[in-house]
Amino acid sequence: MKNIYILLGLLLSITACDSELDQFPPNIASSDSLTEFDGVLSAAYYYQLGGITPIAIMGEFRADNAVMDEAPYTEFDEFDNGLTAMEDQFFGPFYTAMYKSILSTNNVIENSLDATEVGEAKFLRALSYFKLAQVFGDVTVNLVANPSLTETSVLARQSVDDVYNSVIIPDLQDAIAALDTEIENGRASKYAAQGLLGKVYVTLGDFANAEAHLAAVVSGADAAGISLKDNFDEIFGAQNEVENSEIIFSTQVSSSITDEYSFGSDFWNWFVGDDSKADFPVDPDLVAAFDTSDANGGGTDLRRAVTLSADGTTAVKFPKEGDLGAEHDWIELRYADIILLYAETLNENGAAATTVLPLLDDIRTRAGLNSLTGTVTSQADVRQVIYDERRLEFAFEGQRWFDLVRTGTVDVAMGETVNANYYLFPIPVSEILATDGVITQNEGY
């Protein structure tokens, strides 16, 4: 897949139009002249690159895991309308990349006769809209390869509920039906689609529907070669990306290719403190959370040394790879995520603590910690230990803010009452202006 990306990096010239929703992937032939769509599908994968750094920043620096040092980037810790100043660096490139990927997937879905290609495209379209919905809430929905450039009403934002129920969920259901269980680096599979659908249902608070999909991945994991790595440090870094049994789906990254920023994705730079906007990016609250894990777990949480520098000021989960630059793939879904979501789902569906907590044992044992089985009994307490486990397991993987929002724990985590308007991020002003206000801004911005 990375070789395909390198070719695309040479072929694709990423340019801007009046509205990113109008874009057809440049240098890709129009659908009426194509008979093979593997290149268009590769473009859809490729465009996911532009979403990596923005999601990493939004997921960590908006939450209580990381902090910015320099204005206006300190606005990530301020819950007001100041984030609009970061459009060019974060929200604009993210918005552009997701809709470019969507347009490519629409082309494949409409025109390819290969059922597997269509299944992969539907997975990627669902993934793109899931990210857009998490970040912006209501968004424009386009499900055709060549949208009208004159009928602007189709650009109006659709309710987030409709985006989930009319696009994301049906697309993932179709992807599950079309794809097989084989896990291949950087490509969609049945279990990637099923795991993502389970996560979507958990995000919606629909634990009844989530359970079956997450259970299917857990029960089928062994046969598909999916398993937790023995050591936490074996999950991350370029040297661990090939045939990694824990990674169910990742977006491939290479220093040889560029993204919406016109250079390789550099999410790791923000975490290791190599950007002056965040010299010491780790929030002390995260260090304290590791301290609490040590005290309550009967040992030293081994995830700390993989996640944080020795002095606890920078995040080293994705360290630089010498002079090669960006070589870290971005993990979109890994098996530990499925296990913890499954445990959360069972707990919310009323399963006993003695059923739920053993699911955490392998994750905690790998972290050098004791089992919680028998020490926690109430549903509320089980819920909290799962939330705590997710924070430390996925720190700096772009999940924290979105977990806080979906679990309704923003105020507790941030230590203040946060206006719900600022659970979402600002729609790029350029899109609002380009559509003469047909696309509207999120309330509060």
pLDDT tens by residue, 84-97: 989 998 999 999 99
- The CA distances from residue 441 to 94, 156, 302, 429, in Å, are 16, 11, 43, 8
Contact 240, 317 (CB under 8 A): no
Greater model confidence, 426 or 276: 426
pLDDT at 259: 67
Q: What residues have CB less than 8 Å from 233, skipping those under 6 apart?
A: 305, 306
Torsion, CA 127, CA 129, CA 132, CA 134, rounded to 10: -70
| Residue 22 pLDDT class (50, 70, 90 cuts) | very low
b vs e for 14-25, b when ≥16 Cβ sit within 10 Å of the residue's Cβ?
beeeebbbbbbb
The mean pLDDT value for 391-403 works out to 98
Residue 226 has pLDDT above 50, yes or no: yes
**Cis previous bond, 426, omega within 30:** no
The model's pTM:
0.92
- What mean pLDDT do residues 246-262 have? 81
Query: What is the C-alpha separation between 75 and 80, in angstroms, rounded?
Result: 8
Residue 342: name the closest of 351, 329, 332, 330 by CA. 351
2 — pLDDT class (breaks 50, 70, 90):
low
**Which of 91, 344, 128 lies closest to 142, judged by CA?**
128
* Cα–Cα nearest to 340, from 231, 217, 185, 180: 217
Judge contact between 115 and 135, C-beta under 8 A: no
- Percent of the chain surpassing pLDDT 90: 79
Q: Provide the token pair at 215.
A: 């259970």
Query: How many CA atoms does the CB half-sphere of 275 hold within 13 Å?
Result: 18
Average pLDDT over residues 209-235: 98
Longest dimension (CA), the chain: 64
Looking at 6-15, 223-232, 418-427, which range is the least confident one? 6-15
Cβ atoms of residues 301 and 294 within 8 Å = yes
Lowest mean pLDDT among 63-67, 313-317, 327-331, 415-419: 327-331
Instruction: Give me the amino acid identity at 245.
Output: S
Q: pLDDT tens for residues 167-203?
A: 999 999 999 999 999 999 899 999 999 999 999 999 9
Beta bridge partners of 282: 66
Which has the closest alpha carbon to 178: 243, 99, 113?
113
CA distance 351 to 343: 9
Placement of tokens 């350029």 in the chain: 430
Give how far Cα 161 sits from Cα of 143, 167, 175, 409, 440, Å.
16, 10, 20, 21, 17
**Whether the predicted pLDDT of 13 surpasses 60:** no
Residue 86 Cα distances to 53, 57, 75, 93, 343, angstroms: 13, 11, 9, 10, 37
pLDDT digits (tens, 9 = 90+) for 39-61: 999 999 999 999 999 999 999 99
**Distances, alpha carbon 425 to alpha carbons 3, 72, 132, 147, 265, in Å:** 34, 15, 10, 26, 21
Kindly compute the dihedral angle of the four CA atoms of residues 357, 360, 362, 365, in this order, to the nearest 10 degrees: -90
Amino acid of residue 276: S
- Is 1.10.10.10 the CATH number for 2-307+326-434? no
